[in-house]
Amino acid sequence: MLASDFDYVLPHELIAQRPLDRRDQSRLFVLHRSTGQFEHRHFPDLPNYVGAGDLMVFNDSKVIPARLRPMSQVSEMFLVEEIAPNDWWVMLRPAKRGLVGTAIQVADNLTATIVAINDEGHRRVTFSGVANILDALPAIGEMPLPPYIKRHADVTDADRYQTVFAKQSGSVAAPTAGLHFTPEILERLRNRGVQTASVTLHVGLGTFAPVRSENIEEHAMHEERFVVPEETTRMIESATRVIAAGTTTVRVLESTGGRAGEGRTSIFIYPPFEFRVVDAMLTNFHLPRSTLLMLVSAFAGRELILSAYAEAVRQRYRFFSYGDAMLIL
């Protein structure tokens, strides 16, 4: 298939720049795969579509304040992936100043020393002056808003660009389908007999990488770290229907077959694809030509998804990370 097969027209003003006042205030586009029917609802209606025997699986990865403004050498340091405590791959701006051996003063008593450069131009740095850079980030870092949000992160994003069930630090982008949930909606799901479980997939910057090759099979997919707990596997085995909250959850479940374990996945899901675990999916609206749009197209059919997206544009839904949600049944 071609990347151009997954293009659509999106008015710029529909790209959500800020979260709504309340997490559950977002709209919910319900798409029925079997009939092609659309429904226009609001997120608090979600529990009406699930019930006893259903298992909803969440990604419990926690977004770190990954964007730093160092005191010397560079204007920006962006944490990309942890190798070991205080040992990270980072992106620098401007990159030309990041030679091996350079010491960057990140903050008072906190230094990053460049020890290697990879083929992507990322720098490997070791931090000194703190026991673990992760503990220092809340005080010195900014939330890593996506490139299509044209503003700097503020105090609101520290809360809203994070799910209420986030536990495992490591993502540099939010698993955005989870942003709509509140403790009250989670309680309503449990009251309807829905079981909940979690996996961890630390979302990397590759989630925003465009598919540059016209033949999508030539696209090199990024890797991301995951963990599937034993308890989640047991719950999957006994569930009548598995509902994945987010494409990151889908990638974990389909790359492992729902089996417990940990590792790295570079699974690229595009049509045609046989889903082995996921029966229904909650997701946000995705960028044109993106691997995530290809994933939902594999799940519901390309033509149906593009028709749904056109309807969402007509109905003025809000798109991308801080936008509205879609439930695919």
Residue carrying the six token digits 């990309």: 80
Does the fold of domain 67-142 match that of domain 3-63+158-328?
Answer: no
**Tens digit of each residue's pLDDT (9 = 90 or more) over 117-166:** 998 899 999 999 999 999 999 999 999 999 999 999 999 999 999 999 99
The superfamily in CATH containing domain 67-142 is: QueA-like (2.40.10.240)
Distance CA 61, CA 83 (A): 17
**Tens digit of each residue's pLDDT (9 = 90 or more) over 270-328:** 999 999 999 999 999 999 999 999 999 999 999 999 999 999 999 999 999 999 999 99
What are the structure tokens assigned to 244, written together?
Answer: 């994945």
Q: What does the DSSP assignment read for 197-236? A: EEEEE---GGGG----SSBGGG--PPPEEEEE-HHHHHHH
Of 201, 325, 178, the residue nearest 251 (C-alpha): 201
Q: What is the pLDDT of residue 327?
A: 98
- 77 neighbors 104 (Cβ within 8 angstroms): yes
**Furthest CA-CA distance within the chain:** 61
Distance CA 8, CA 10 (A): 6
The top-level CATH class assigned to 3-63+158-328 is: alpha beta
Mention every residue, 6+ apart, whose C-beta is less than 8 A from residue 37.
Answer: 31
Q: Is 43 helix (H, G, I), strand (E, B) or coil?
A: helix
Q: Is 33 helix (H, G, I), strand (E, B) or coil?
A: coil
In the chain, domain spans: 3-63+158-328, 67-142
Residue 213 binned pLDDT confidence (cut-offs 50, 70, 90) = very high
**Tens digit of each residue's pLDDT (9 = 90 or more) over 89-128:** 999 999 888 899 999 999 999 999 999 999 889 999 999 9
Residue 2 has pLDDT above 90, yes or no: yes
Task: Please state the pTM of the whole predicted model.
Answer: 0.94
**Tens digit of each residue's pLDDT (9 = 90 or more) over 243-265:** 999 999 999 999 999 999 999 99
Of 295, 244, 311, the residue nearest 6 (C-alpha): 295
- 88 neighbors 127 (Cβ within 8 angstroms): yes
Residue 41 has pLDDT above 90, yes or no: yes
